[in-house]
């Protein structure tokens, strides 16, 4: 079956699994996941599962990406901070919905590879950094020290305070929090400067590696 048809089937599956956000569904329909998957796994690109990428990391499961993006309630005006660029797939889905994406990855090799693919795909609204994303988007770009939405796609032992500090008023942040094997997906919202937290189910991500 052609990739396009496989992609349409995957989107149908996401709908059946409870994804209703039209922007998210459309973005999945327009993002070729096969480009972000290593060649040897390309035939599995549209299976609804995580797959290995370089450096012993993973490209997240499509349903999990969709749940996180739906939870963020993305709009075309949003500036989003993404921690864990990885393959760049989620970055591409995000970038086709929102105004700007700032994406941080600690492993240079993965970041450079993702940068290359996204550039080739014509994205001009994505900014990349290599470093510890638990620190957020550090001072070098003062315009970007407050984000409408923050998405962390690696499992954190604790919620990094630098990230919640960089969440804008009215903003939303999703982050997997817990131990190595399994985490809780946590939604944080900021209203009148006060953070509220709610749990959105279980998930399993590779660990957020940080010196903080």
Catalytic residue numbers read 60
The verdict on 31 binding ligand SAH (CB under 6 A) reads: no
Give the residue nearest to ligand SAH (CB): 86
Per CB under 6 A, does 149 bind ligand SAH?
Answer: no
Question: Could you give the 3-state DSSP secondary structure of residue 180?
Answer: coil
CA angle 82–87–90, rounded 5-degree value = 45
Question: Between 50 and 188, whose beta carbon lies closer to ligand SAH?
Answer: 50
What span, in angstroms and rounded, lies between the C-alpha atoms of 83 and 203? 16
Q: Which residue has the tokens 């972000």?
A: 36
* The one segment of 87-95, 140-148, 174-182, 189-197 that binds ligand SAH by CB under 6 A: 87-95
How far is C-alpha 137 from the geometric centre of its chain's CA atoms?
15
Task: Report the distance separating Cα 37 and Cα 54, nearest Å.
Answer: 9
Of 24, 31, 51, 60, which one interacts with ligand SAH (CB under 6 A)?
A: 60
The reply to whether 134 sits near ligand SAH by the rule CB under 6 A is yes
CB of 41 to ligand SAH, least distance (A): 12
* Residue 89 interacts with ligand SAH (CB under 6 A): yes or no: yes
By CB under 6 A, name the one of 11, 19, 46, 57 that touches ligand SAH: 57
The beta strand positions in 107-182, using DSSP E, are: 126-130, 147-152, 167-178
Segment interacting with ligand SAH, rule: CB under 6 A, options 20-28, 37-45, 104-112, 188-196:
104-112
Across 158-197, b (16+ Cβ under 10 Å) vs e yields: ebbebbbebbbeebbbbbbbbeeeebebbbbebeeeeeee
User: Contact residues for ligand SAH (CB under 6 A)?
Assistant: 57-60, 83-84, 86-87, 89-90, 104-107, 110, 132-134, 153-154, 206, 208-210
């Amino acid at each position: 079956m052609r990739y396009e048809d496989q992609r349409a089937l995957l989107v149908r599956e996401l709908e059946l699994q409870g994804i209703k956000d039209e922007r998210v569904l459309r973005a999945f329909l327009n993002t070729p996941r096969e480009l972000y998957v290593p060649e040897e796994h390309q035939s599995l690109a549209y299976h609804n599962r995580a797959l290995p990428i370089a450096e012993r990391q993973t490209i997240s499961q499509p349903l999990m990406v969709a749940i996180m993006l739906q939870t963020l309630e993305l709009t075309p005006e949003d500036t989003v901070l993404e921690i864990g660029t990885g393959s760049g797939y989620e970055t591409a889905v995000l970038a086709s919905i929102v105004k700007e994406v700032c994406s941080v990855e600690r492993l240079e090799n993965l970041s450079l590879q993702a940068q290359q693919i996204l550039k080739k795909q014509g994205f001009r609204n994505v900014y990349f950094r290599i470093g510890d994303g638990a620190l957020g988007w550090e001072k070098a770009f003062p315009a970007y020290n407050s984000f409408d939405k923050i998405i962390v796609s690696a499992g954190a032992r604790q919620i990094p305070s630098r990230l919640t500090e960089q969440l804008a008023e009215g903003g939303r942040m999703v982050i997997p929090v817990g131990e190595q094997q399994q985490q809780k997906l946590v939604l944080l919202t900021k209203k009148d400067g006060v953070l509220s937290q709610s749990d959105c189910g279980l998930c399993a991500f590779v660990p957020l590696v940080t010196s903080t």
